[in-house]
Each structure stands twice: as structure tokens, then as C-alpha cells.
């Protein structure tokens, strides 16, 4: 029987079923709905089919291709639980390097406190040598600047 | 622990626990979430787009978005809901990109002879595999406007008002399409009788 030629009662009942399934308030009294579904073979078959289709759709799954995850993994932004540890390590290394530089400076480059003051007219090269060394902040290779200063 | 054994042990965890671990940087936990939900996400995308290549892109995009939002994901019941909604949205974006924003309005009267009767499993379950295959074919042959709302509602689990908002359509139109979509499925599925109704 085409939908257009369904009796009005059947059309109303099918609308009521729709309202129920959407959680809308029911215009048709439930007992009328139930009575019609029990009496009308066409509507009850329709209802059962629709319920089966809805339930099958709810469970319907297509298996995804297996190779999808590697692509996702490649695109993930880096988020590592060792990131914090690495940061602390980097900071510790930096501190160590700075301490080493400070120690080298104090040990090899900086003038000792008992060094005599540089006098004007002193031996040429004395003060400029030291200024250069101070500016360059690098100990000359293989030399002991403390001895030089003495 | 080998990768597979590691994933096996993670498979016993809940979504919430996996999200928690993934937040702490455990990538295997995220991978486990991926394997748990990829079929659902893929089904939504394929159902809406009808194209496997685009659907793979949607799966990737969906999980990347989820990864970026790990901090705010509600693990208990929110992960699957978030993934389904994101997959639907990503599919809609792709459809719009494909053909430009198209606002379709149907003024057809709402026959709405729908039925998703609550409760009760079907008693005439029949051959599940045959049903699944038939449904796949029938779904693919639905018109796009019907297929999209059917997939969004039944497979992604989105309520009608949310679908209406995402598709920028009146709620009544979504209800109507949902009804007509299911009605069309009934006509296309060979195991359902009363063909003279159609
Ligand atoms: Zn009837």
C-alpha cells in the first residue's frame, strides 16, 4: 500500500511513533497507539522494521583500514613526559658550564689580589696585554696567567 | 615490553585512564584510544562522505584534534562523544569545501513515519553479517542529505537539535530527513517486508 493511500489513522499512528522515538510529547494517547499497532498488521510490521533498522544502524561499524595510525603518529605534536626532566638537565648543564667558566676565569685569567698596581709608564704592553686578556675572556692555551701576573 | 604486549595491557584500561596517561605523554595510551575508536570514527566519515580516501583524512584530523585537546577531554564518557562529534564536523567541513557551502532546504511535508522504538533488542536478529552488508550497501545508496543525518544521528549518536545546528538547518528538516532516510533504507533492504508500502 503506497504511503499516500494509507488510511489517515495509520498516518497519525506512524507520526506518533516518530514523536515517541524523538522524545517529543505524545499527542496521540499511548493506549490508542498500542491498540492500533496490535490491530494493524501494516503499521506493526512497519514499526518492527524501523526499530530493527534503527538498532542495526546504532551497531553499524565498518572496519577502518589498518594502516591509519602511523600517519597519525607522525603528525602528533611532540609531547613527552621526559620533557620536564630534559629541561631540568639542560638547566643543570648550563649552570655547570657557567660555574666552570667562572672557575677558569678566577683561576687562570683574573688578576690575583696581591698583584701590584699597574703604574703609568710601566713596561709597554703590560696593561694592554691584561686588558686584551680580560676582554677576550679566554685563557691563553698552555699558559699560566697567574704566573704571568706575578 | 614489546609494542603489542604494551597495547594489550593498555586495552584493559578505561578511556578515562588512557586519556590520563596520554596527557602525561604516554603515546601508547593514545594509540590504544585510537585503535579502540577508529572504526566508529571511520564509519561516520565514510557514511557521510562515501569516499575511503577522504574518510582516512577525517580519521587523522579527528584524532589530531583530540590529541591537541587532551587537557580538556573528559575521559569518562566524553572521549567517544567528542570523537563522534569531531568526525561529523570534520566530514561536514570537507563536504562544504568540496562543493561550497550549500544550504539545502526541503519543503517536503514531513511524513515522519519513523520508529526507533526505545528498549528491547530485535527478536528477529537474523543473519547479522548479511544485515550489516545489506545496510552498508543501502546506506551508500541513500541520497546525501538523508545519509548524512542518518549517520550523524545513529552512528555518531548526535541528537537532532545538535545535527540541526551543525548543518544549519531547521530542526524539523533534520527530523524529516531522518525519517525519510530510514524509510528509504527500509525500502532498499531486502530483508524487510511489506514492500507494497513503498
Ligand atoms: Zn495502521
Q: Would you call B43 an interface residue with chain A, using a CB distance cutoff of 8 Å? A: yes
In this prediction, residue A121 has a pLDDT band, given cuts at 50, 70 and 90, of very low
Q: Where are the domains of chain A?
A: 8-60
pLDDT value at residue A28: 78
Give the gap in angstroms from C-alpha B125 to the nearest C-alpha of chain A.
Answer: 8
Q: Which residue, among B154, B37, B68, has the nearest Cα to A53 in the 3D structure?
A: B154
In the three-class reduction of DSSP (H, G, I as helix; E, B as strand; rest coil), residue B49 is classed as: helix
Question: Which has the higher per-residue pLDDT, B12 or A2?
Answer: B12
Query: What is the CATH number assigned to the segment(s) B1-103?
Result: 1.10.1740.10
* DSSP code of residue A105: I
Model pTM greater than 0.90? no
What ipTM does the predicted assembly reach?
Answer: 0.77
The highest-level CATH class for domain B104-198 is mainly alpha
| Integer Cα distance of A47 and B190 in angstroms | 16
pLDDT value at residue A1: 52
Q: Where are the domains of chain B?
A: 1-103, 104-198
A residues 87-146 near B, CB within 8 Å?
none
Residue B67 has pLDDT above 50, yes or no: yes
In this prediction, residue A123 has a pLDDT band, given cuts at 50, 70 and 90, of very low
Question: A46–B160: do the CB atoms touch at under 8 Å?
Answer: no
- Chosen from A3, A10, A22 to mutate, greatest number of chain B CBs within 10 A: A22
Amino acid at each position: 500500500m503506497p504511503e499516500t493511500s494509507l488510511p489517515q489513522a495509520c498516518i497519525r499512528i506512524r507520526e506518533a511513533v516518530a514523536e515517541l522515538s524523538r522524545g517529543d510529547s505524545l499527542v496521540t494517547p499511548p493506549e490508542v497507539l498500542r491498540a492500533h499497532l496490535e490491530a494493524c498488521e501494516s503499521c506493526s510490521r512497519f514499526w518492527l522494521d524501523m526499530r530493527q533498522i534503527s538498532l542495526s544502524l546504532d551497531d553499524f561499524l565498518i572496519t577502518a583500514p589498518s594502516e591509519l595510525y602511523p600517519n597519525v603518529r607522525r603528525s602528533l605534536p611532540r609531547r613527552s613526559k621526559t620533557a620536564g626532566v630534559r629541561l631540568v638537565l639542560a638547566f643543570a648543564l648550563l649552570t655547570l658550564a657557567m660555574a666552570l667558566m667562572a672557575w677558569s676565569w678566577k683561576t687562570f685569567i683574573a688578576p690575583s689580589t696581591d698583584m701590584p698596581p699597574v703604574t703609568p709608564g710601566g713596561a709597554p704592553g703590560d696593561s694592554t696585554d691584561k686588558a686584551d686578556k680580560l676582554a677576550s675572556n679566554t685563557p691563553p692555551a698552555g699558559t699560566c696567567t697567574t704566573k704571568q701576573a706575578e | 615490553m614489546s609494542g603489542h604486549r604494551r597495547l594489550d595491557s593498555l586495552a584493559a584500561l578505561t578511556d578515562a585512564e588512557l586519556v590520563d596517561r596520554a596527557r602525561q605523554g604516554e603515546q601508547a595510551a593514545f594509540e590504544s584510544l585510537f585503535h579502540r575508536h577508529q572504526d566508529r570514527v571511520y564509519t561516520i566519515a565514510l557514511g557521510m562522505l562515501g569516499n575511503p580516501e577522504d574518510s582516512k583524512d577525517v580519521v587523522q584530523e579527528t584524532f589530531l584534534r583530540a590529541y591537541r585537546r587532551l587537557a580538556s577531554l573528559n575521559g569518562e564518557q566524553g572521549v567517544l562523544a567528542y570523537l563522534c562529534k569531531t568526525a561529523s564536523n570534520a566530514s561536514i567541513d570537507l563536504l562544504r569545501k568540496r562543493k561550497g557551502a550549500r544550504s539545502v532546504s526541503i519543503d517536503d511535508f514531513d511524513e515522519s513515519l519513523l520508529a526507533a522504538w526505545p528498549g528491547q533488542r530485535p527478536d528477529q536478529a537474523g543473519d547479522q553479517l548479511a544485515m550489516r552488508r545489506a545496510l552498508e550497501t543501502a546506506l551508500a545508496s541513500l541520497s546525501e542529505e538523508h545519509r548524512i543525518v542518518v549517520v550523524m544521528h545513529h552512528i555518531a549518536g548526535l541528537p537532532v537539535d545538535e545535527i540541526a545546528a551543525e548543518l544549519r538547518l531547521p530542526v524539523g528538516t533534520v527530523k524529516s530527513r531522518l525519517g525519510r532516510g530510514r524509510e528509504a533504507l527500509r525500502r532498499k533492504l531486502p530483508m524487510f517486508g511489506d514492500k507494497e508500502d513503498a
